[in-house]
Amino acid sequence: SAKAHRNEYSSYEPEMNRKAHDRLRLESDLRRAIDEEQFALAYQPLVNLTSNKVVGVEALVRWHHPKRGLLPPGEFIPLTEENGLILQLGEWVLGAACRQNKAWQDAGLPPMMMSVNLSMRQFRQHQLADRIKAILQQSGMPPQYLELEITESMTSDVEFAADTLSSLKELGVQISIDDFGTGYSSLSSLKRFPIDKLKIDRCFVNDLTRDASDAAIVSTITTMAKNLKLKVTAEGVENDEQIQFLRERDCEEAQGYYYTQPIPANLFENWFRHRSQT
């Protein structure tokens, strides 16, 4: 009977209801958050391993939730990707990052790349290049300083990816493949795409100095990048030994807690000025 059925499931029904309810709440909070601009960007430097200079920053979104406090992207980006809110949020991120880059230029900081993450949904958005062009024009940021980060999964439809990427390249921006090595991308497709950089996923960098296969993977990616005339950044660098290894393998750039965690714009400026003096 219906009653017996209910009893059978009663032990986890409330749990499921709670999860569905939390999700709905988060979704309505997100809609409000976009209107009320509760988001902020944190910035993490990319450092050239030869010159030791900061060559760019990656913009990473944070949500200052009125009740739950500071939320990392892992707690809300997947939901925005499912319900489409990522399109609005992604536009906000792009605009805010470009305005910040321009502001730093106007404040006399040396030119720096600004890396922004694109989601699958954005990548598939109609007239993405036109939208980005408008954002660049509104912010006054020169296109050559914008670096768009995509993931290997976005390149699975090779024709579509090649077209989209070439329309983005026409704007004069840079393209990198994020989390490289964790997804599936064939070497032949890599060759077909107008990409500028590979970012080695931090899961290979983590144990680099203890795990021989991770070391081999990082060396292989670095060599391949060089042969394909691509730049390469190692992500998630946390210690001197990793930096040492990466320098020996001629890895161009590094990013990670070794330098600093992602920090708000004003703290980044302080960090940068302090670092330049020492």
In the bound complex, what is the minimum distance in angstroms from residue 200's beta carbon to Ca ion? 9
In degrees and rounded to multiples of 5, residue 27 shows phi and psi of -65, -40
- Answer whether 101's CB lies under 8 Å from 55's CB: no
Chosen residue from 179, 237, 243, 251 binding Ca ion by CB under 5 A: 179
In the bound complex, what is the minimum distance in angstroms from residue 274's beta carbon to Ca ion? 25
Chosen residue from 47, 60, 114, 190 binding ligand C2E by CB under 6 A: 60
Chosen residue from 45, 56, 181, 262 binding ligand C2E by CB under 6 A: 262
In the bound complex, what is the minimum distance in angstroms from residue 179's beta carbon to ligand C2E? 6
In the shown chain, the binding pattern of residues 217 to 256 toward Ca ion, with x for contact by CB under 5 A and - for none, equals: ------------------x---------------------
Cβ-based nearer residue to Ca ion, 100 or 117: 117
Does 238 bind ligand C2E (CB under 6 A)? Our answer is yes
For residue 219, what are its two tokens?
């060396």
Q: SS3 string of the chain?
A: CHHHHHHHHCCCHHHHHHHHHHHHHHHHHHHHHHHHCCEEEEEEEEEECCCCCEEEEEEEEEEEECCCEEECHHHCHHHHHHHCCHHHHHHHHHHHHHHHHHHHHHCCCCCCEEEEECCHHHHCCCCHHHHHHHHHHHHCCCHHHEEEEEEHHHHCCHHHHHHHHHHHHCCCCEEEEEEECCCCCCHHHHHHCCCCEEEECHHHHCCCCCCHHHHHHHHHHHHHHHHCCCEEEECCCCCHHHHHHHHHCCCCEECCCCCCCCECHHHHHHHHHHHHHC
Does 257 bind ligand C2E (CB under 6 A)? Our answer is yes
Chosen residue from 74, 159, 212, 266 binding ligand C2E by CB under 6 A: 74
Within 28-57, which residues bind ligand C2E (CB under 6 A)? 44
What CA–CA distance (Å, rounded) separates 141 from 52?
A: 25
In the bound complex, what is the minimum distance in angstroms from residue 267's beta carbon to ligand C2E? 14
Does 61 bind ligand C2E (CB under 6 A)? Our answer is yes
- Residue 141: partners with Cβ closer than 8 Å, 6 or more residues away: 98, 99, 101, 102, 105, 114
In the shown chain, the binding pattern of residues 153 to 182 toward ligand C2E, with x for contact by CB under 6 A and - for none, equals: -------------------------xx---
Could you tell me how many residues of this chain bind ligand C2E (CB under 6 A)?
20
* Beta pairing, strands 54-65 & 113-117: parallel
Does 14 bind ligand C2E (CB under 6 A)? Our answer is no
Chosen residue from 117, 125, 139, 185 binding Ca ion by CB under 5 A: 117
175 binds, among ligand C2E, Ca ion, none (CB under 5 to 8 A by kind): none
Chosen residue from 100, 101, 117, 176 binding ligand C2E by CB under 6 A: 117
Does 256 bind ligand C2E (CB under 6 A)? Our answer is yes
Residues of the shown chain interacting with ligand C2E in the complex, contacts defined by CB under 6 A = 44, 60-61, 72-74, 77, 90, 93, 117, 119, 178-179, 202, 236-238, 256-257, 262
